[in-house]
Each structure stands twice: as structure tokens, then as C-alpha cells.
Amino acid sequence: MVDFALPEEVRKIQEMTREFARQEVRPAGIALDRVQDPEDAYTSDTMRRVLARAYDVGFHKMNLPKEAGGLGAPPMTNIIVQEEMAVADAGLASHFLVAPMIAGMAATANGRHPFYREYLDAFVADTRGAHSGAWAITEPDHGSDLFQFGQPPIHMDTAAVRDGDDYVINGHKSAFVSNGWMADALLIMVSEDPGQGMEGTVTFAIPGNLPGISRGKPLDKLGLRGLNQAEVFFDNVRVAPEFMVMPPGPGYRLMLERIVTGGNTAVGTLAVGVARAAYEEALAYARQREQGGRRICEHDTVKMTLFNAYRRIEGARALLWKSSWLIASGQPHLPTAMAARTMASDMAVRVTSDMVQIFGGYGISKEHPVEKFYRDAKLLQIMDGTNELVSLKAADQLIG
């Protein structure tokens, strides 16, 4: 049974998150956005403080099961929390989104390397924001290629070679790895059997401080500046086979599709959050700004622009909820996730642009956050696959 009424517990989490995001995340996001050198931003007191506040409340472990030390929030809570966080700041919301990645895997990985148990215990006990994960798949020369499972067989350049009992990894992942500069645990996809193309990929979940791992400078970019992104280098990194979470073969593609189904639903939700942020600011502004002897919200063009933003946001959210519900009920559906994400991110670029327009000249000024939302929205059409590639993949799945 599909129901749009949130359970009482989820509604309370939504209210609490909204208040937390308004008080802590929005001001931190705006401050981080203005720091010129990203390295200064990510080592700042602002960053330390907002992470510590969020971890202290338990946002990082909200979706981890209670048996693993998490808060075991009900299904669908994640999409509600992600939207509220993104309304405040989509960059920091992205950080919170990827941070539990390795802890989440550790919670379900029984009896492999002792690192997983130790990491999970440290993660759930963390009240400072010291522990966080990232997934590193994109490479400087292979972005959209990662979806390429057909002919010709294309493989990643970063490679794992068997050496005695271990694997030795060499290569490097692109500057786009979300949380790549700060993460202390990494999910990495590297080529092990190049002849099989992308299906020759092996996946490891590893500590981020293994000898031979280093990071580039944090990426200086257009938007989502609260999210640290950086290259990850592998120089003869020795990895025990117990760190392998998926061997090469057809299972890799299924795992990637699972990750992308969740990832696309999350990216779409960030987009709804950014669009809502811009809409709320523009609505408040249009209610008090007067031109031609009337409030600008009473002028037909402004009124219609506001209504169009409202219906686009509501429509995008409804499809994202469907994708999230499919995931929560054990029926993840890649084309639905991809449809929801492409619709939501295109919508966010359109809506944030329209909301800048409602502010007139003041829309491009840093006096108002709406110009930041416009910059943030653009990245969501590229994150976790460009909208073009994502659409082509979804179309392929529908055609069969």
C-alpha cells in the first residue's frame, strides 16, 4: 500500500532535521562556499564544528541497524533527512550521504577482515566526524566508460595484480571522488582481469591509510563547495584478499547497478532539496519586494514562475519517493531511479535559474543565497554519471 503520510517517528525526525539543518548546516554551508582555498575550508573550525554537531546528534549512523550500534531509523527516513539537509546545503548533505558508506558495508560483512568490525565500532561511537567513507571509481581517463559493458571491452587503468597471498594496486582515481580528501575508508573498483572489460573489475573496501595511498589537493569547483572531492593515488598498495567485497565477473555489474540505483535516488533527492531552498527564498522575497506599486508576487509572470517551481518540485519528489519505496521494499528498479534523478536534477537547474530571475539583480548578489543554489544544482546533472549517460542506460534497460 503506497501512503504519502509519514509515520509519526519519521515526521519527528523530519522536524528535528529541518531545525538542525536551518541552525547548523545552512550557515556552515554558506561560510564554506565563500572560502577561496578548499583546503582551508575543509580544515576550518566551521567544517569541524558542523561535522561534530551532526555526528553528535547521530545523523551519520541513522540508517545503520541497531544491532550494529546504529539508530535503525525506519525505511524512507534517509530520503526525508537527505532532502532537509540539502535544503540547508547540498554540499554538506553530499558529505553526510557518502560518509556511512563503508560502515554500512561493514555492518553486513560477517567475519572477513577484523578491520570491518573495528571500523564499524569506531564509526558508531564517533561524535566528532572523524570517520567517513567514499567510493572511488571514476578515473581521469574513464568516467562515462564505467557504464560500458558492451563492445569494445574497456577497462579501468587502476589495476590490482596478485602477488603471493595479496593484491598489489597501482593507479589513480579522479579528482571527483566525493569525500575523497577526508575519507578514512574507501570502496574502490579496480581492474583485475582487463580482458573481461568492466566485468574484470574487482571491488575492495579498505582502510584509507594503507601504505601507498595518497590524496591530491581538494578540488576547487563551481558548487557543492561544502563537499570535499579529491584524487586518490595508489602506489604499490598491498591489500589482503579479505578486503575484497566483490570478485570480477557478472556479479560486479549487478552490484554497480545496486549502488547506482541508491546513488541516483539520493542525487535526485539532493536536487529536490536545492530547488526547494531556492523556491522558499524566492517566495519569501516575492512576498515583500514591491515594484509597480504591488508586491512582485502579485505580478502574473512572477506568480506563474513560483507555481511552476512548486509543481516541478512536487512532481520530482513524488517519483523519487517511488524509487525510494521500491528500494526499501526490496525491489530496487534502476530505470525508475534514473528517471527520478534526471528529472529532479534537470528540474533543479531550471528552478534555481528561475528563482534567481525572481530576485532580479539581487539574484546574482552574494547578499542572497539563491546564486549559490544555482551553482550547486548544476553539479547534480553530472554526479554519479552525467544525465545523458544515465538516460541512455535507462533507455537500454527499458528496451532490453
Task: Find out whether 218 and 181 touch, Cβ atoms under 8 Å.
Answer: yes
- Is residue 89 part of the contact set for ligand FAD (CB under 6 A)? no
Of 1-9, 26-34, 131-139, 197-205, which part binds ligand FAD (CB under 6 A)?
A: 131-139
User: In the bound complex, which residue of the shown chain has the CB atom lying closest to ligand FAD?
Assistant: 143
Determine, following the binding rule CB under 6 A, whether residue 96 of this chain makes contact with ligand FAD. Answer: no
Complex with ligand FAD: residue 306 or 337, whichever CB lies closer: 337
The DSSP symbol for 41 reads H
CA distance 214 to 216: 7
Q: Which of 218, 385, 393, 394 binds ligand FAD (CB under 6 A)?
A: 385
Q: Check residue 168 for interaction with ligand FAD (CB under 6 A).
A: no
Does 203 interact with ligand FAD (rule: CB under 6 A)?
no
Give yes or no for residue 382 binding ligand FAD (CB under 6 A): yes
Helix, coil or strand: residue 217: coil
Among 43, 196, 353, 386, binds ligand FAD (CB under 6 A): 386
259 forms part of the interface with ligand FAD (CB under 6 A): no
Any contact of residue 252 with ligand FAD (CB under 6 A)?
no
Binding segment toward ligand FAD, per CB under 6 A, in 81-89, 176-184, 190-198, 251-259: 176-184
d(CA 274, CA 309): 12
Per-residue cell: 370: 539563491
C-alpha 336/C-alpha 319 separation (Å) is 8
By CB under 6 A, the count of residues binding ligand FAD is 19
Nearest CA-CA partner of 279 in 248, 317, 244: 317
Told to check if 389 binds ligand FAD by CB under 6 A, we report: yes
Question: Which residue's CB is nearer to ligand FAD, number 72 or number 153?
Answer: 153
Closer CB to ligand FAD, 28 or 177, in the complex? 177
User: Which position among 138, 228, 323, 336 is part of the footprint of ligand FAD (CB under 6 A)?
Assistant: 138
DSSP codes joined into one string, 88-144: H-HHHHHHHHHTTHHHHHHHH--SS-HHHHHHHHHHHH-SSS---EEEE--BTTBSG
Judged by DSSP in three states, 188 sits in strand
Under the criterion CB under 6 A, does residue 176 sit at the interface with ligand FAD? yes
Residue 235's nearest CA partner among 205, 206, 213 is 213
Name the helix (H) or strand (E) containing 170.
strand 166-173
Of the candidates 147, 91, 106, which has an alpha carbon nearest to the alpha carbon of residue 384?
147
Q: Does 349 bind ligand FAD (CB under 6 A)?
A: no
Q: Is residue 269 within the footprint of ligand FAD (CB under 6 A)?
A: no
Choice from 14, 44, 144, 196 touching ligand FAD (CB under 6 A): 144
Q: Is-cis flag, bond preceding 152, omega within 30?
A: yes
Q: Which three cell numbers stand for residue 145?
A: 566508460
Whole-angstrom Cα Rg for the chain: 21
Q: Is the dihedral of CA 256, 261, 264, 265 positive or negative?
A: negative
Q: Is residue 384 at the binding interface for ligand FAD, with CB under 6 A as the rule?
A: yes
Among 178, 269, 323, 336, binds ligand FAD (CB under 6 A): 178
C-alpha cell at 122: 569506531
Span interacting with ligand FAD, options 134-142, 244-252, 302-310, 342-350, rule CB under 6 A: 134-142
**DSSP-derived 3-state class of residue 180:** coil
Residue 130 near ligand FAD by CB under 6 A: no
Does 216 help bind ligand FAD (rule: CB under 6 A)?
no
User: Which one of 45-53, 70-78, 175-183, 362-370 is the stretch in contact with ligand FAD (CB under 6 A)?
Assistant: 175-183
Binding site for ligand FAD (CB under 6 A): 134-138, 143-144, 176-178, 224, 379, 382-386, 388-389
